[in-house]
Structure 1
Amino acid sequence: MYDTLTVRMSTTAGGDCLVCVRGELDFGTRSQFLAGMALLLAEYRPHRVHLDLTGLTFCDCAGLRAIQAVGLLGEARHRVRITAASQCVDLLMRLCHIEHLWGHRPA
Structure 2
Amino acid sequence: MTAAVRFTLHPDATVPHTLIMALSGELDYDNADVLCERITALLTGEYQRLVLDLSGLTFCDSTGIKVFLALRTLIDERSGAIALTDLHPRLDKVFQMTGLGQLFAVYPARADALNLMRAQPSAP
TM value normalised by structure 2: 0.72
Aligned to 2:115: none
1:51 aligns with 2:52: yes
**Can you give the 5+ residue segments of structure 2 that lack an aligned partner in the other structure?**
109-124
Deviations 1:4-31 (A, max 9, x none): 1101112211322211000011111111
8 A contact 2:7–2:23 mirrored in 1: yes
Q: Offset of 1:77 from its aligned partner?
A: 5.4
Q: Offset of 1:105 from its aligned partner?
A: 7.1
Q: Distance in 1 between matches of 2:47 and 2:38?
A: 14
Query: Which has the larger share of helix?
Result: 2
Match of 1:67, SS state, is helix
8 A contact 2:22–2:54 mirrored in 1: yes
Which amino acid in structure 2 is aligned with residue 80 of structure 1? I
8 A contact 2:83–2:107 mirrored in 1: no
Which amino acid in structure 2 is aligned with residue 103 of structure 1? A
Aligned to 1:28: 30
Aligned to 1:19: 21
Residue 88 of structure 2, aligned match among 62, 65, 86: 86
Of all paired residues, the percent bearing the same amino acid is: 25
Does the C-alpha gap of structure 1 residues 76 and 89 become closer, same or farther in structure 2, counting only changes over 3 Å?
Answer: farther
Does the C-alpha gap of structure 1 residues 77 and 3 become closer, same or farther in structure 2, counting only changes over 3 Å?
Answer: farther
Instruction: Tell which deviates more after alignment, 89-98 or 23-32.
Output: 89-98
Aligned to 2:119: none
Q: Distance in 1 between matches of 2:98 and 2:85?
A: 20
Aligned pairs, number: 105
Moved over 6 A (4+): none
8 A contact 1:71–1:77 mirrored in 2: no
Deviations 1:54-97 (A, max 9, x none): 11111111111211211112634532111221112111122323
**Can you give the 5+ residue segments of structure 1 that lack an aligned partner in the other structure?**
none
